[in-house]
Amino acid sequence: MDRKILVAYFSASGTTRRAASLLAKAANADLYEIRPKVPYTSADLDWTNKKSRSSLEMNDPASRPTLADMGAPVSVYDVIFLGFPIWWYTAPTIIKTFLEAHDFSGKQIVLFATSGGSGLGRTESALKPCAPNAVWKGGKLLNGMSESTLRSWVESLKL
């Protein structure tokens, strides 16, 4: 059976967008960008400023930034690769917004991330409560991977 695959990603600076585009090619998947209603500015992303937007969001467990659109076509896909930059050792809170906004029941979710230095850590366990009926398949950091390396990884998942 051919699986319908979606690569859904959030990218604040373009790094995760590049990884998501390569992954979509490697997995023969469709691409969907998770966008905040209010785009992030450079000042918003300043993790050294405790009052920056990203710092305030990441320090508030209830934070759910508003999505620019609610039209992600999740229902027609079997597998969703879900990508984001690592912020504060985990996924940005907009990923929780995205997961809670859609029904992932029975869908396979495979995480991927880009990071300047930290790994996925406990990201999957932090996100699982937002889509408890999904089938979680772990994940991988995709820093600087080639399309052929990504294709091998996708094939190894046996989706």
Residue 3 per-residue DSSP state: P
In this prediction the pTM is: 0.95
In the chain, what are the domain boundaries?
5-157
pLDDT of residue 1: 53
pLDDT greater than 70 at residue 19: yes
Query: What's the CATH architecture for 5-157?
Result: 3-Layer(aba) Sandwich (3.40)
pLDDT tens for 129-148 read: 999 999 999 899 999 899 99
Sheet holding 79-85, edge to edge: 30-33, 5-9, 79-85, 108-114, 135-141
